[in-house]
Structure 1
Amino acid sequence: MIDRGQILAEEGAPDNGPLYLRIRDVLADAIAAGRLPKGALLLEGPVAGLFASTRTPVRQAFALLEAAGTIRRFDGRGFLVGQGRGGPKRVALTAEMLGFGEEAPGLRKAPAWEAIYESLEREMVHLSVFGRYRINEVELARARGVGRQVARDALTRLEALGIVEKDERMRWTLVPLDAERMRDLHDIRVALEPIALTQAAPFIPPVERRAMTERLEEALAVYPVLSVEAMDGLETDLHITCLGYCPNRELLIALRRARFMLNVSKHIIGVSHRMPADEPFIAEHLAVFRALDVDDAARAAETLRHHIAVSLPKVIGRVAELRDAHRPDMPAYATPVAR
């Protein structure tokens, strides 16, 4: 069995590389060694479970494996190992198949907060549209059926995105999402994302860039028949994965809080808000990738700048519609803060 003791260190750790590349390598090794047989069905959820990761790095790993011809799409959900025309083999994936052995020394235990995080983030984003709220950590833990430390860890993750903050008395507070804040966050993105893309462009692997372009083309052809997860994946490809190749780590840290605006769209479009009649960003993303394809980083950066700038009125409009058409479901752990 291969030694993967460090395979799942924190995502993006510089000494190990991006998590999706490590997942790709493990899957490629397992396929080459025959531990994953030809025709085996690979789904994002089960693979993410084995790696104790979110689905995003698994989706990115699948894209690279598909581009390399290691796995293929079929008339169904997921990917099949190898090439050919045979149907899927529904094989139960195990840690041993991935080369970890029965004890799975390379797999980390999933942090407990991950089990509640996605739904909590959505709830917080929706509630932030309606103003500022004080968040009771004890009540949150009780409402979610977890320990207080788990609730605190989830809130700390939200704090890193600027969704919640601590007041002068160290109490958790939900930051209101108003038009002024959205403009401030967009100003950061307009200023910094084009710079990050210019610096990242030489380091984006061509095979990965082509896979992203193909996903955009396929999505544009079938819109609006797209899941929220698929839309989020397309946003992630450009604004997180591509920019993640920027060698200036301080620049990426400065952008981290502004990425909150991507979460706003993810939790509103197609969830509490109807899918727009006209696709909201796919063609604009394609224009960025077309410029990257011909090594015109300057045009790609300017196209990205325009894309972010014109997206602001769309997001403000969706948030305003949500505020006008809905009333918040008040969770037991949240208390409105008087203005």
Structure 2
Amino acid sequence: MNGTGQDLAEAGADGAEAGLDKSPLYLRIRDVLAQAISAGRLPKGALLLEGPVATLFASTRTPVRQALVLLEEGGMVRRFDGRGFLVGQGRSGPKRVALTPDMLGLSEEAPGLRKAPGWEAIYESLEREMVHLSVFGRHRINEVELARARGVGRQVARDALTRLEALGIVEKDERMRWTLVPLDESRMRDLHDIRVALEPVALMQAAPFIPPAERGMMSDRLEEALAAYPDLSVQAMDDLETDLHITCLGYCPNRELLIALRRARFMLNVSKHIIGVSHRMPAAEPFIAEHLAVFRALDVDDIARAAETLRHHIVVSLPKVISRVAELREAHRPAIPAYATPVAR
């Protein structure tokens, strides 16, 4: 996944959707890769990158990342310069092997291969369109017109809207009609208050369960991003946000706490869809260093300091988001799609 709304549940319960196997998706990916390595279908030194592996499993990157970390802990793969993993141990250089389903022992019927739901094909662009439109007030969403505009069946359109509903981007009114929820400053502050109150608590509970190898890989990505900024893609920045605010917190054993946080995490999606898309990349982005400070506190088991650092990071982010949304409202008015109708205040 990239770090879009559909990834929100993947950190801790990421995928008992496929086939008959109800185990988490990252465990099934780990098992398929482990079997391929043991059988020799993946040769020693083969380079495994999150993106290509995720493509084969019709998955996002989050469960692939978790699977590779588990394989590293088991000694079946080793990290390669922070940019992937090499099969096996030793000092041999990377072999850039083109991965195929046959190499992993996958087929269309294999339970390890998750077929992507139809809604995924339209979700990312629809979420971006909805976020931009929400800045300009409440809109009624016509499910039939949405399906027609995207060239999909009505059920696919409904499934996509249901995912948006889980994030609080759309809701149903008293007559059960889809409505786009307006994104105004009052709502941003309300969502932000939830994050400030709950994310530090979730981190304190999650900290003992975050695998050290996975945490180290996240820190490495932050170090590389800090050195490369601003030469970073929006996707790379979103992945960094996902690492801390979704994947790490996903190890929190209090599932009710994570459910309470889910809608508030919509604020992460707001920044993703504005920066680099409808808004210029900022000359300086302190969130990378702020994330690093959280991980460095975790590295020395100072969980209280990590939680307080996270709380401060969230607090100082609100004015930036409000400013970016205000600039978007002033400078960019998207065309209203055929499936949306403005609702008078």
* CA distance in structure 2 between the aligned counterparts of 1:64 and 1:266, rounded to whole angstroms: 29
Does residue 33 of structure 2 align to residue 30 of structure 1? no
Other-structure match for 2:96 = 89
Residues 1:204 and 1:43: Cα distance change in structure 2 (over 3 Å): closer
Does residue 266 of structure 2 align to residue 260 of structure 1? yes
Other-structure match for 1:332 = 338
What is the aligned counterpart of 2:246 among 240, 256, 263?
Answer: 240
Other-structure match for 1:157 = 163
Q: Do the aligned partners of 1:125 and 1:264 also contact (CA within 8 Å) in 2?
A: yes
Deviation per residue, 1:243-267 (Å, 9 max, x gap) = 1111111111100100100111111
* CA distance in structure 1 between the aligned counterparts of 2:209 and 2:117, rounded to whole angstroms: 31
Aligned residue for 1:258, secondary structure, equals: coil
Gaps of at least 5 residues in structure 1 are 1-6
Deviation per residue, 1:87-124 (Å, 9 max, x gap) = 64342411x43244674233232211111111110111
Give the counterpart letter for 1:235 in structure 2.
Answer: E
Other-structure match for 1:188 = 194
Q: Do the aligned partners of 2:47 and 2:94 also contact (CA within 8 Å) in 1?
A: no
What is the aligned counterpart of 2:281 among 275, 290, 295?
Answer: 275
Give the counterpart letter for 2:315 in structure 1.
Answer: A
Aligned residue for 2:237, secondary structure, equals: helix
Does residue 229 of structure 2 align to residue 229 of structure 1? no
Q: Do the aligned partners of 1:46 and 1:93 also contact (CA within 8 Å) in 2?
A: no
Residues 1:122 and 1:101: Cα distance change in structure 2 (over 3 Å): closer
Q: What is the Cα deviation at residue 201 of structure 1?
A: 0.8
Deviation per residue, 1:114-144 (Å, 9 max, x gap) = 1111111011111111111111101100000
Q: Do the aligned partners of 1:64 and 1:211 also contact (CA within 8 Å) in 2?
A: no
* CA distance in structure 2 between the aligned counterparts of 1:298 and 1:78, rounded to whole angstroms: 31
Q: What is the Cα deviation at residue 58 of structure 1?
A: 2.4
Give the counterpart letter for 1:16 in structure 2.
Answer: S
Other-structure match for 2:207 = 201
1:56-71 → structure 2 map (5 Å cutoff): 56-62=62-68, 70-71=77-78
Q: Do the aligned partners of 1:134 and 1:334 also contact (CA within 8 Å) in 2?
A: yes
Where relative contact order (Cα < 8 A, 6+ residues apart) is larger, the structure is: 2
Length, aligned pairs only: 327
Give the counterpart letter for 2:299 in structure 1.
Answer: D
Give the counterpart letter for 2:242 in structure 1.
Answer: T
Does residue 194 of structure 2 align to residue 216 of structure 1? no
Does residue 138 of structure 2 align to residue 138 of structure 1? no
Give the counterpart letter for 1:151 in structure 2.
Answer: A
Q: What is the Cα deviation at residue 61 of structure 1?
A: 3.8
Q: What is the Cα deviation at residue 233 of structure 1?
A: 0.8
Q: What is the Cα deviation at residue 64 of structure 1?
A: 5.6
Q: What is the Cα deviation at residue 57 of structure 1?
A: 2.5
Other-structure match for 1:4 = none
Q: Do the aligned partners of 2:149 and 2:339 also contact (CA within 8 Å) in 1?
A: yes
Other-structure match for 2:325 = 319
Q: What is the Cα deviation at residue 273 of structure 1?
A: 1.0
Deviation per residue, 1:202-230 (Å, 9 max, x gap) = 11111111111111111111111111111
Q: What is the Cα deviation at residue 72 of structure 1?
A: 4.7
Percent identical among aligned pairs is: 83
Q: What is the Cα deviation at residue 62 of structure 1?
A: 4.3
Deviation per residue, 1:7-66 (Å, 9 max, x gap) = 95249xxx734x334423432332233111234454444422322222332244446656
Residues 1:275 and 1:70: Cα distance change in structure 2 (over 3 Å): same
Q: What is the Cα deviation at residue 78 of structure 1?
A: 6.1
* CA distance in structure 2 between the aligned counterparts of 1:208 and 1:319, rounded to whole angstroms: 33
* CA distance in structure 2 between the aligned counterparts of 1:141 and 1:282, rounded to whole angstroms: 38
Aligned residue for 1:168, secondary structure, equals: coil
Deviation per residue, 1:242-293 (Å, 9 max, x gap) = 1111111111110010010011111111111111111240111111111111
* CA distance in structure 2 between the aligned counterparts of 1:159 and 1:102, rounded to whole angstroms: 31
Aligned residue for 1:165, secondary structure, equals: strand
Give the counterpart letter for 2:36 in structure 1.
Answer: A
Aligned residue for 1:335, secondary structure, equals: strand
* CA distance in structure 2 between the aligned counterparts of 1:164 and 1:231, rounded to whole angstroms: 25
Residues 1:32 and 1:224: Cα distance change in structure 2 (over 3 Å): farther
